[in-house]
Amino acid sequence: MGRMLVTGAAGFIGSHLVERLLETGYEVIGVDGLTGYRSRERKQRNLARISDEASFRFVEEDLLELDLDGLLQGVSNVAHLAAESGVRASWGDDFSRYLERNVAVTQRLLEALSKSSVERFVFASSSSVYGSVDEKPVTEDSRLRPASPYGLSKLAAEELVGLYVRQRGVPATILRYFTVYGPRQRPDMALTRFISAAVRGEPLQVFGDGNQMREMTYISDVVDATVAALEAPPDGTYNVGGGSRATVNELIDHVQHALGTRVEVSYGPPAEGDVHSTWADLELVGRDLGYRPRVSLEQGIKAQVDWILEQGRVPGPAGEESDALKGTAR
């Protein structure tokens, strides 16, 4: 088995990916600056199960400052999940952080990869590059029209990946994740906020009227697709969705059913940059990577509810960076 590098290794998706790679038999180097939405303590808890694994090495460093040439020595494959997330926070002066974390970091990593012997590079992108979709699933060659600075930053990073593929021969694959949920989901994201408020017996706060439609993808399905991309010949861009769509109001119904309770729901203005609908066409990823989502929405929400209850730590009300619908951030 080869040596894998995972950036954003202590995050929601990154920590699950590292666990799967270790279980599969890979040696893994995980990089994370332990910054961003989640507290240092929460991110450390994400890695608690694997922190003592002999085949895992954790590097707590900023990717803008890290010696990437040295880090990539002996690495066969790279999964780049580190990013600045969140739609609402990407407007205004904070956009500079998105340029640094989503664009500059990706370019710096691509530059190092172009001088390395890495066999495969997988870049975790977002359904936000599409913007809102019509009443049909988007294919990978659909029009790209981001509705937020966050989505634009992910699209810019995708363009950088394509440039380094064409000009420098970097062996890359791009995955566009659609609303990822499950255990360890960021506390500011919709499903965690809804579950936490319901457990505390507080009203659920929803941006907009709750009729926004989302393609929901359970964390283990996202990991399946990412591992498949790391093991397949590097080529192309793929949607990674869960095969399940639901409105926000339907998500709340699922939460209430899983908890066996009813909750009060209050509605507010829609979030700036929010999109009305996401919907992934999964034909290409199924054909090329053999990906098929396996976890139903009902199963996935129950698993997330059970995990939150088992933790004994219910996240408090989200702060100003909460996004009622965004689910692609890592």
| Residues with catalytic function | 150
Q: SS3 of 24, please?
A: helix
What stretches of 143-252 adopt beta strand conformation (E)?
172-177, 180-181, 204-207, 213-218, 237-240, 244-247
Closest listed residue to residue 319, CA positions, set 49, 52, 64, 37: 37
Separation between Cα atoms, residue 49 and residue 190, nearest integer Å: 26
Sign of CA dihedral 275, 277, 280, 281: negative
Q: Mind giving me the DSSP string for 226-249?
A: HHHHHHSPP--EEEE--SEEEEHH
Closest listed residue to residue 19, CA positions, set 45, 56, 61: 56
Separation between Cα atoms, residue 206 and residue 252, nearest integer Å: 10
Residue 209, token pair as written in the block: 């009227």
DSSP state of 139: P
Amino acid at 160: L
